Structure 1
Amino acid sequence: MRRKWSAIELMESWTLEPGERTLVLQKRSVNRLGFALLLKFFQREGRFPVQKNEIPHCAQIFVAEQLELPISH
């Protein structure tokens, strides 16, 4: 997966829809970001990431901001 994304591309591929957000918010707070990232990655790629670094950092930040969660490095 590429590393650079425009704001529009992030919105199109990594925005949580209302139903997805509801599903994510049912998870424990420590699991929410990881679950959301895996969900959106799977929707886009049709598979789960093999390595943590497959999910672009900008996408991690974008999803974390939607959930009002800190991003860990």
Structure 2
Amino acid sequence: MLNLVLDSPGLNSVGPQMHRDLADVWPVIDRDPDVRVVLVRGEGKAFSSGGSFELIDETIGDYEGRIRIARGP
């Protein structure tokens, strides 16, 4: 089992860098034959408050960027 801990300011909100990091880590985890279960949890008192306003601001006017995010790597 792999423990994946979200740990960022703002109740573990997902900003642009964390979003990129999460997109990058899932294929790596998928290729690891020793990992059969991933436990995703948040550090502190909250799992995650969701997308940060910074991430929303970065993507709101960028239709192509939102499509890239939706499609993933």
Q: Tell me the TM-score normalised to structure 1 length.
A: 0.28
Of structures 1 and 2, the larger Rg is shown by: 2
> TM-score by structure 2 length?
0.28
Higher fraction of strand: 2
